[in-house]
């Protein structure tokens, strides 16, 4: 039975005609308006992962520490002492492109709910941001709005924003990326799942009133050219209300009769009810007339698809309801009993006495179409990657200092202090290593001597030029940054930000990046325990740079055995790992020569594993006091960042590294490489560090000694630390 409805009606719910026909066949009838809206939301890429689900199966998801992998609101890993770290990263890209402040703010609110829904108390926030260049007024507006929204919501909520990463490129002009990550702590036996159970148990909607904001938010994020939409799809957040909801929910989870909890995020009531019913293999019946509303005249369709913020769904026994309601009343929050758990497997929606939707929950989830497409790499990208860079003129020694200053002021390298000071990282007094002081944030686990290290990362230029290798780099660099604090990487979460999967080159990027990430995660022992997919990040015909953001969480058993970035006077600087660098895909090549070309640095995952293990062990036994990986900008930029952090100079000899790079000054000073970390140790321990490196099969080069007020190089003129710092701090002030 095939029925045709207008393309406009299908567009509104992000369904194709063939998908609509499939719905009709599954139901044996035409769907009601409410059912069609619910199918559109649940079968959207944002909720149903119909283009990415087959690819996600490549990720390793289990491990000795994994307590909860993908499939719940967030993942959880064991950190000992009966405690678990719960974490996840999610996108709020499309809303932030339309309304940057509220889009970013509600992105923070949504990811926080994912964490405390699991029963964990949120202890840290991070964000991974991508914008177009700040010389455009529109990008300045987006940048200011997003940073303001993140700070405004997180600060009011009372959760420290401890880190993240920012990248600028013209390909983000029409479509900025806003990825928010939250980390929480919970006792093992208090982890809560979103699995409805107990026939006759009550379905309770708690928190804010329901309004018309956010309707079609999930479908809006699952089509090309989101600029065609309007501001009505962007949710409006209230961080003070969310704080009440957080505390009330954590208190409510102490009640024995609470059997499940699910936040209302994308697709609102629709997704929360369907997911709870589907996971529990039960049915749920609700009456939308029982839902508290802040706007009159709302239809059942609007109530079911509203994405109003600060709401949570709780499944509770009838006996426990009075105690539950008392808790939410004490926190001045609604607790509306809107339905019950049933035994027929159907999601049934009533509007008073009228049934407006009645569909088996499995049709929304298990029957969601899956697309396996053919990926074809763009010929233009192949040409750019295979470009011969031997004709790039080498740097003259007298140009090294000016080039270093130019790179330090570039938007992808310069100080993030103007952003960091917008956020409060001191709330809760757990932040041991604040932003900018180390390669990853370090947060104390209260009540123990442990700490966790957290970092988000992704070099999208690497992924653009070689998606498979770039995906590996994203995992390796995030884990490396965590290792540079002394923490053992435990697991990762990711947010896959790509263009349209319906285009062969877009699908190729997604497919190959996932495969590369999966290989790196397996090799480094960091299973993927949660994540999010954000596709259709395009404006007009222009897709973003493929950006598979990775967030890694690591464990420090003794918080006193950690390293920052700043070396002390008299320290010896040693380069561990790869010495040979490449100009391909480098920030130097882009800034100085205006080229996005060449292959990203080679990455041997065994070498990467060995370098990270060595760095952690050296920090753990006290031989290394500071560590910093070399990433964008190469060796000299990494050295400059360490010296700026310590406000000290250094005398550095690069001859051995120069020999490894065929005598090329540009590759030696500013070429990029994987598996490479600069460490600082005392003069008395330098030989021991090098010996341990040799025993681990990791190359080690003594670079020089910290002291003075300038970076003194054997291959170039000196550069004053104050000059480097001034340039580094000037970057994000340009064009603002």
Residue numbers annotated as active site: 46, 92
- 354-360 vs 311-316, strand pairing mode: unpaired
Contact by Cβ (8 Å): 42, 48: yes
The CA distance from 5 to 7, in Å, is 7
Paired with 543 in beta bridges are 538
- Residues sharing a CB contact under 8 Å with residue 416, sequence separation 6 or more, in sequence order: 166, 435, 436, 732
Contact by Cβ (8 Å): 702, 384: no
DSSP-assigned states of every residue in 279-334: HHT-EEEEEGGGS-BSSTT--HHHHHH---SSEEEEEE-TTTHHHHHHHHHHTT-E
Using CA atoms, how far residue 8 sits from 12, 23, 220, 306, 420, in Å, is 6, 17, 14, 20, 44
Contact by Cβ (8 Å): 317, 255: no
Q: What are phi and psi of 301, to 5 degrees?
A: -60, -50
Q: With b meaning 16 or more CB within 10 Å and e meaning fewer, what string describes 472-481?
A: bbbbbbbbbb
Using CA atoms, how far residue 17 sits from 3, 11, 40, 382, 395, in Å, is 9, 10, 12, 35, 58
Contact by Cβ (8 Å): 111, 239: no
Tokens 């409410």 -> residue: 34
Tokens 């009159």 -> residue: 296
User: Dihedral sign, CA of 551, 553, 554, 558?
Assistant: positive
Sheet holding 346-351, edge to edge: 258-263, 311-316, 202-207, 334-342, 283-287, 346-351, 354-360
- 700-706 vs 626-629, strand pairing mode: unpaired
């Amino acid at each position: 039975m095939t029925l045709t409805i207008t393309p406009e009606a299908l567009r509104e719910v992000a369904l194709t005609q063939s998908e609509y026909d499939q719905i009709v066949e599954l139901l044996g009838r035409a769907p009601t308006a409410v059912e069609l809206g619910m199918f559109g939301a649940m079968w959207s890429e944002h909720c149903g992962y119909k283009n990415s689900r087959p690819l996600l199966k490549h990720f390793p998801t289990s491990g000795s520490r994994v307590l909860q992998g993908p499939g719940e609101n967030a993942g959880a890993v064991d950190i000992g002492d009966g405690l678990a770290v719960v974490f996840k990263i999610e996108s709020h890209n499309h809303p932030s492109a339309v309304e940057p402040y509220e889009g970013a703010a509600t992105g923070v609110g949504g990811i926080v709910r994912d964490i405390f829904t699991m029963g964990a108390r949120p202890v840290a926030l991070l964000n991974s941001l991508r914008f177009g260049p700040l010389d455009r007024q529109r990008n300045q507006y987006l940048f200011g709005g997003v940073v303001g929204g993140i700070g405004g919501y997180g600060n009011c909520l009372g959760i420290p924003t401890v880190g993240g990463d920012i990248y600028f490129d013209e390909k983000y002009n029409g479509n900025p990326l806003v990825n928010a990550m939250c980390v929480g702590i919970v006792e093992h036996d208090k982890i809560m799942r979103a699995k409805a159970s107990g026939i006759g148990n009550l379905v309770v909607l708690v928190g804010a009133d329901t309004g018309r904001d956010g309707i079609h938010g999930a479908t809006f994020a699952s089509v090309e050219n989101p600029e065609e939409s309007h501001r009505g799809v962007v949710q409006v957040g209230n961080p003070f209300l969310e704080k009440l909801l957080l505390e009330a929910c954590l208190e409510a989870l102490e009640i024995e009769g609470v059997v499940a909890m699910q936040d209302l995020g994308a697709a609102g009531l629709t997704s929360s009810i369907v997911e709870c019913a589907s996971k529990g293999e039960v049915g749920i019946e609700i009456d939308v007339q029982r839902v508290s509303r802040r706007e009159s005249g709302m239809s059942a369709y609007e109530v079911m698809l509203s994405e109003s913020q600060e709401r949570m769904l709780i499944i509770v026994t009838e006996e426990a309801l009075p105690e539950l309601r008392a808790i939410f009343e004490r926190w001045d929050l609604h607790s509306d009993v809107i339905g019950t758990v049933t035994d027929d497997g159907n999601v049934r929606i009533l509007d008073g006495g009228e049934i407006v939707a009645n569909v088996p929950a499995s049709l929304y989830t298990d029957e969601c179409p899956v697309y396996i497409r053919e990926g074809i790499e763009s010929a233009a990208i192949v040409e750019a990657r295979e470009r011969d860079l031997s004709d790039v003129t080498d740097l003259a020694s007298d140009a090294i200092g000016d080039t270093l200053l130019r790179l330090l002021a570039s938007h992808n390298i310069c100080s993030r202090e103007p952003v960091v000071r917008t956020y409060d990282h001191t709330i809760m007094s757990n932040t041991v290593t604040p932003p900018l002081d180390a390669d990853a944030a370090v947060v104390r686990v209260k009540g123990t001597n442990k700490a966790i290290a957290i970092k988000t990362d992704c070099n999208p230029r690497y992924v653009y030029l070689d998606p498979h290798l770039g995906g590996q780099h994203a995992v390796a660099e995030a884990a490396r940054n965590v290792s540079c604090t002394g923490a053992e990487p435990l697991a990762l979460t990711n947010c896959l930000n790509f263009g349209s999967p319906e285009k062969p080159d877009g699908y190729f990027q997604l497919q190959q990046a996932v495969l590369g990430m999966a290989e790196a995660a397996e090799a480094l022992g960091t299973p993927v325990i949660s994540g999010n997919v954000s596709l259709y990040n395009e404006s007009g015909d222009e897709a973003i740079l493929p950006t598979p953001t990775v967030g890694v969480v690591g464990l420090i058993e003794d918080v006193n055995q950690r390293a920052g970035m700043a070396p002390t006077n008299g320290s010896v600087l040693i380069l561990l790992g790869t010495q040979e660098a490449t100009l391909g895909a480098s920030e130097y090549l882009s800034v100085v020569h205006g080229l996005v070309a060449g292959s990203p640095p080679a990455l041997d995952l065994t070498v990467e594993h060995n370098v990270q293990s060595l760095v952690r062990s050296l920090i753990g036994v006290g031989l290394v006091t500071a560590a910093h990986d070399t990433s964008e900008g190469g060796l000299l930029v990494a050295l400059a960042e360490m010296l700026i952090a310590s406000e000290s100079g250094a005398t550095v000899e690069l001859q051995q590294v120069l020999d490894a790079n065929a005598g090329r000054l540009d590759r030696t000073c500013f070429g990029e490489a994987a598996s490479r970390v600069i460490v600082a140790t005392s003069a008395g321990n330098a030989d021991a560090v090098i010996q341990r490196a040799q025993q681990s099969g990791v190359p080690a080069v003594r670079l020089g000694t910290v002291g003075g007020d300038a970076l003194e190089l054997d291959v170039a003129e000196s550069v004053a630390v104050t000059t480097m710092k001034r340039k580094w701090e000037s970057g994000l002030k340009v064009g603002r």
